[in-house]
Amino acid sequence: ILNVEQSPQSLHVQEGDSTNFTCSFPSSNFYALHWYRWETAKSPEALFVMTLNGDEKKKGRISATLNTKEGYSYLYIKGSQPEDSATYLCQFFGNEKLTFGTGTRLTIIP
Amino acid sequence: KAGVTQTPRYLIKTRGQQVTLSCSPISGHRSVSWYQQTPGQGLQFLFEYFSETQRNKGNFPGRFSGRQFSNSRSEMNVSTLELGDSALYLCASSLGPSPYEQYFGPGTRLTVT
């Protein structure tokens, strides 16, 4: 069983503040890491696919970094907005397994 | 471009029965993955198909099976249903296997009574 952990489990952030959270995964046999945003009553939406150590991806106010040697990825949200409220999931692909983390539930307080 | 479609959207079955769920990927996508989401276990990977071949499989019992057709549509089957199989089943399609970006369907909500 692969351990893919996300922290924190939940987070409340004031609108306008920036925030970040972590996905930790096994550092051996890394192939790819996916980040998704999952809003209530909707399907998961792909944010980033990260494959190379040192990767940094950006989409609007959201960005992500990847460190495959130490086995972690950070997701950053700058200037949080109410529409950012969702569960953020990472998915590790390695050792021929696709494993999701348990997610970080983000709530933006207006 | 039409998104990923899953049928049926909701299903109620009795313990011991079997069920087949269907997933039609986005046109041009050749890879389909299946996931199970339960409150206690979160999102878990079931299997991944690419060009009609199963590429990867999660840690589920043999009662869970799947297949992919030549038009990339996929089905998953669960035999001898148990109460614990009650879950949201999501499928996702992509141009190819990971690390291609995945696009998720709306899911099938299965309730086993």
CB contact under 8 A, B42 and A99: no
Which pLDDT band, with edges at 50, 70 and 90, does A53 fall under?
A: confident
Residues A2-49 pLDDT 10s: 689 999 999 999 999 999 999 999 988 899 999 999 998 899 999 999
Residues of B in contact with A43 (CB under 8 A): 4, 90, 104-107
Give residues with Cβ within 8 angstroms of A47, minimum separation 6.
A35, A36, A37, A59, A62, A64, A75, A88
Do the Cβ atoms of B6 and B22 come closer than 8 Å?
yes
From A89, A96, A97, residue closest to B43, measured CB to CB: A89
What percent of chain A lies above the pLDDT cut of 70? 98
**A25 near A38, Cβ under 8 Å?**
no
Residue that is written with structure tokens 């019992």 in the block: B61
Positions in chain B short of pLDDT 50: none
Check residue B1 and give its pLDDT: 65
- Whether the per-residue pLDDT at A1 is higher than 60: the answer is no
What is the distance in angstroms between the Cα of B37 and the nearest Cα belonging to chain A? 11
- pLDDT at position A95: 74
Pairing, β B87-94 against β B103-104: antiparallel
Give the tens place of pLDDT for each residue, B58-76.
999 999 999 999 999 999 9
Tell which phi-psi region holds residue B51, choosing left (phi > 0), alpha (psi between -120 and 50) or beta: left
Q: Are strands A97-100 and B64-68 parallel, antiparallel or unpaired?
A: unpaired
Percent of chain A's residues with pLDDT above 90: 79
Between B33, B45, B98, which is nearest A32 by CB?
A: B98
The answer for residues whose C-beta is within 8 angstroms of residue A28's C-beta and 6 or more apart is A94, A95
